[in-house]
Structure 1
Amino acid sequence: MIDTPGTGLIGLLVLFALLFAGGRIGAVLGIVGLGGLALVLGPEAALIKGGVVVVDTLTKYELGTLPLFLFMAHIFFSVDVSRDLFDAAAKLVGHRRGGLAYASIAGCAGFGAINGSSLATTATVGLVAYPEMKQRGYDDRLSTATIAAGGTLGQMIPPSGALIVYGIIAEQSIGRLFTAAIIPGITQALLYAAVVFLLVRARPQFAPAGDRVSWAERWQALGRIWEIGLLMLLVIGGIALGWISPPEAAAVGAAGALAIAAIRGKLSRETLFTAFAETLRTTGLIFLIVIGALIFSVFVGVTGLSDAIGEVVLGLGAGTFVTLLLIGLVLLLLGTVLDGLGLMLLMTPILLPIVEASGMTAIWFGIFLVRAMEVGFLTPPLGINLYVMQGVAKDISIANIFRGVMPFLASDVLHLLLLILFPAMVLWLPRLLGN
């Protein structure tokens, strides 16, 4: 047996090489993990261990949360929820200077709470909000960067697919993670709004003030989203208060989405077929990645790589703040070259023991890790949200989008620093609600 940290390090290097060569993250994680276990434990033991991981993962009750929330999101796609959310926000604040940018952030937060995907939030809200801002004379850099940044709220605002996957990998309560994400999600949105406020005050020409609409029109716009807001309040509030478990909340959300689609007259056979097909496709992809990550995690654990790295880091005597700051820098650097989910699944088994040894909890690390993932979505030159946004705004160069997003990236780094300095931003609400 060659169960040494060096073996684990070689496996990690092979993993990175295959990923940079274009390998699929789920397959690469599983293959390297199984190959490493075969070297360490022997081929037969590796296959048995891999089989146990697959069965244990697929039979987890909590895993049902993910496909149900995905199904809810795809049903909401069919009823133009993103348009309704943006329209309501635009009618409330669109008359102010920068109002449509604020509305875009609010629309992204609302839609992110429904679908839990940064890419889907950016693309869907962008298709609605960007033409409106273009028509009103907003600066292209401000409009594209606001939507791209706001889109990252989809990973943080509960229910979040990333937090569900992290909860499974780290064996943490999904309900507690959702509750812990509420304050960071709100403060993230507020920081983005603050960036818009400062930009439009410094350069008023970036965002002309619009026409004020009547309160009758505002109430009409709010009337188109009240049932969606009520459903999300029930889902997220029910989890936070401990009334229902995350899988039960996901079932309530899926059933509520079907009811809303039926009330709006958009529940058809084609809608259902598309929602089921997209849910199965996305769920299968994520399950493959999760299983691969868990197998790789077993390999890393067997070789003792995580413990060795932890001993080296803690042996430096740098203290909690410096240790967490270094971890944050590592995540930011890797986030520029790895996709968000891959980053989370790859680094959780390696960094989580270090974080816990430094005195922080796995719940805090889950929120911090997802925030670092979100920064990766915005970091040039590989920030995928920026390219999604260019796909929506085809007339804008990627260089302009890169320039526009820099102030929002600065606010993201500030937010990460605040999470390190004030961990109560993450931990206070779960403790208060006792979940």
Structure 2
Amino acid sequence: MIDTAGTGLVGILILFALLLAGGRIGAVLGLVGLGGLTLVIGPEAALIKAGVIVVDTLTRYELGTLPLFLFMAHLFFAVDASRDLFDAAAKFVGHRRGGLAYASIAGCGGFGAINGSSLATTATVGLVAYPEMKKRGYDDRLSTATIAAGGTLGQMIPPSGALIVFGIVAEQSIGRLFTAAIVPGITQALLYVAVVALLVRLRPDLGPAGERASWPERYRAIARIWEILVLVLLVIGGIAVGWFSPPEAAAIGACGALAIAALRRKLSLECLFTAFRDTLRTTGLIYLIVIGALIFSVFVGVTGLADAAGALVTGLGTGTFGTLVLVALLLLVLGTVLDGLALMLLMTPILLPIVEGAGMSAIWFGVFLVRAMEVGFLTPPLGINLYVMQGVAKEISISSIFRGVLPFLAADFIHLLLIILFPAIVLWLPEMLGT
């Protein structure tokens, strides 16, 4: 029987090669994990273990959180939530220098709280905000970079699909992860606002001021989004203070989205069919990825690779801060060549024991890992949010978008460092609320 860290390392190298060759992440994780388990514990035991993982995963109550939140998001697509959120923000700050950039960040934050996806947030808000910024004479690099950076808020601000997946794979409380992500999400948005403020202060022509909206116009804009804001606050706040569990909050969110779509007279059979179809398609894909990741995690655990990696890092004697910086650097490097979800699912079983050995909690690591994933979405030359934005603004070269995003990347690195230096940014709120 084979049981060495070397086997686990070979499995990871094979996994890397298959992913870089374009293999489907869920299938690759499952097949490599199953093949590795076959070598280590034998074919019969490997099949039994994989079967137990599949049944156990698909019958977990908290897994119902994901499709319900996805259904809520798809319903909000139908009621033009992104346009209304951006318009409301623009009415309040659009008259300021760089105001539409601020509004884009606010719109991304609001829409990210609805759908939990960086790519969807970037694409949807980009289609609304970029033409307005173009029309008002905003610099193309500032416009595209602001939306691409703001789009990453979709992964951090609850309810986050990435945090749900991490919670299932790492067997952590999804509600506690959501609560822990609130302060980092807010501080991330504020740092992006600070970047825009600095840029337009140094070069006012980058984001010229627009016309001031009247208070009646502002009230009308708020009137178009009040029910969305109330639902999002109820869902996130209810989880944070313990009124209901994440699956219950997801059910409330889905029912609330149905009610809002009906009130706006956009709830039709076609709308429902599209929302159900897209939800089932996305959910099936994510379930396959989660099951594959769990099988692969068992393989990594059986080989002892995680323990060996932890012993290696501990032997370096870098201390807590040094260990976390090394982990951050590894995640940032891998994030330039791997899809964010692949990065999370591949590295969680290896890095989580190291981080816990350094004295940090799994909740802190989950938020930190998602934050590192977001940086990968913005890092040239493979940052996927940048290419999504280029697909929206087809006349802008990708090199211009690369240059424009550099100040926001600097803010991301500062934010990661702050999370390492001050773990309370992540842990204070869930500890205070006792979630």
Query: Which position in structure 1 is the counterpart of 2:195?
Result: 195
Query: Which position in structure 1 is the counterpart of 2:379?
Result: 379
Distance in 2, matches of 1:361 and 1:368, equals: 11
Q: Following superposition of structure 1 onto structure 2, how do residues 41-60 of structure 1 map, counting pairs within 5 Å? A: 41-60=41-60
Alignment-mate amino acid for residue 433 of structure 2 = L
| 1:395 CA drift (Å) | 0.6
CA deviations on 1:355-404 (whole Å, 9 max, x unpaired) are: 00000000000000000000000000000000000000001000000000
Query: Which position in structure 1 is the counterpart of 2:24?
Result: 24
Query: Which position in structure 1 is the counterpart of 2:357?
Result: 357
Query: SS state of the match for residue 159, structure 1?
Result: coil
Q: Following superposition of structure 1 onto structure 2, how do residues 185-334 of structure 1 map, counting pairs within 5 Å? A: 185-334=185-334
Alignment-mate amino acid for residue 195 of structure 1 = V
Alignment-mate amino acid for residue 390 of structure 1 = Q
CA deviations on 1:91-141 (whole Å, 9 max, x unpaired) are: 000000000000000000000000000000000000000000000000000
For the aligned residues, what is the CA RMSD?
A: 0.4
Distance in 2, matches of 1:12 and 1:5, equals: 11
Distance in 2, matches of 1:12 and 1:375, equals: 23
| 1:337 CA drift (Å) | 0.5
Distance in 2, matches of 1:394 and 1:100, equals: 20
Distance in 2, matches of 1:193 and 1:281, equals: 35
| 1:242 CA drift (Å) | 0.3
State the TM-score, normalized to the length of structure 2: 1.00
Query: Which position in structure 2 is the counterpart of 1:182?
Result: 182
| 1:209 CA drift (Å) | 0.5
Query: Which position in structure 1 is the counterpart of 2:93?
Result: 93
| 1:241 CA drift (Å) | 0.2
Distance in 2, matches of 1:20 and 1:341, equals: 14
Query: Which position in structure 2 is the counterpart of 1:81?
Result: 81
CA deviations on 1:249-301 (whole Å, 9 max, x unpaired) are: 00000000000000000000000000000000000010001000000000000
| 1:17 CA drift (Å) | 1.0
Query: SS state of the match for residue 23, structure 2?
Result: coil
Distance in 2, matches of 1:210 and 1:19, equals: 46
| 1:85 CA drift (Å) | 0.1
Query: Which position in structure 1 is the counterpart of 2:117?
Result: 117
Query: SS state of the match for residue 308, structure 1?
Result: helix
Distance in 2, matches of 1:102 and 1:309, equals: 43
| 1:20 CA drift (Å) | 1.1
Query: Which position in structure 1 is the counterpart of 2:429?
Result: 429
Distance in 1, matches of 2:210 and 2:234, equals: 34
CA deviations on 1:389-422 (whole Å, 9 max, x unpaired) are: 0000001000000000000000000000000000
Query: Which position in structure 1 is the counterpart of 2:418?
Result: 418
Alignment-mate amino acid for residue 93 of structure 2 = V
Alignment-mate amino acid for residue 54 of structure 1 = V
Query: Which position in structure 2 is the counterpart of 1:9?
Result: 9
Query: SS state of the match for residue 148, structure 1?
Result: helix
Query: Which position in structure 2 is the counterpart of 1:166?
Result: 166
State the TM-score, normalized to the length of structure 1: 1.00
Alignment-mate amino acid for residue 422 of structure 2 = F
| 1:22 CA drift (Å) | 1.1
| 1:304 CA drift (Å) | 0.3
CA deviations on 1:7-44 (whole Å, 9 max, x unpaired) are: 11111111111111111111110000000000011111
Moved more, 12-21 or 47-56: 12-21
Equivalent pairs, count: 435
Distance in 2, matches of 1:224 and 1:166, equals: 34
Query: Which position in structure 2 is the counterpart of 1:370?
Result: 370
Query: SS state of the match for residue 242, structure 2?
Result: coil
Query: SS state of the match for residue 132, structure 1?
Result: helix
Distance in 2, matches of 1:80 and 1:22, equals: 34
Distance in 1, matches of 2:234 and 2:305, equals: 43
Moved over 2 A (4+): none
Query: Which position in structure 1 is the counterpart of 2:128?
Result: 128
Query: Which position in structure 2 is the counterpart of 1:66?
Result: 66
Alignment-mate amino acid for residue 37 of structure 2 = L
| 1:347 CA drift (Å) | 0.4
Distance in 2, matches of 1:5 and 1:123, equals: 42
Gap runs ≥5 in structure 1: none
| 1:73 CA drift (Å) | 0.1
Alignment-mate amino acid for residue 302 of structure 1 = V
- The share of aligned pairs that are identical, in percent, is 83
Alignment-mate amino acid for residue 174 of structure 1 = I
Distance in 2, matches of 1:198 and 1:35, equals: 53
Query: SS state of the match for residue 231, structure 1?
Result: helix
Distance in 2, matches of 1:403 and 1:10, equals: 37
| 1:186 CA drift (Å) | 0.1
Distance in 2, matches of 1:233 and 1:165, equals: 22
| 1:213 CA drift (Å) | 1.0
Query: Which position in structure 1 is the counterpart of 2:398?
Result: 398
Distance in 1, matches of 2:17 and 2:261, equals: 46
Query: SS state of the match for residue 311, structure 1?
Result: helix
Alignment-mate amino acid for residue 367 of structure 1 = V
2:412 maps to 1:389:
no
Alignment-mate amino acid for residue 185 of structure 1 = G
Distance in 2, matches of 1:340 and 1:73, equals: 20
Distance in 2, matches of 1:153 and 1:272, equals: 27
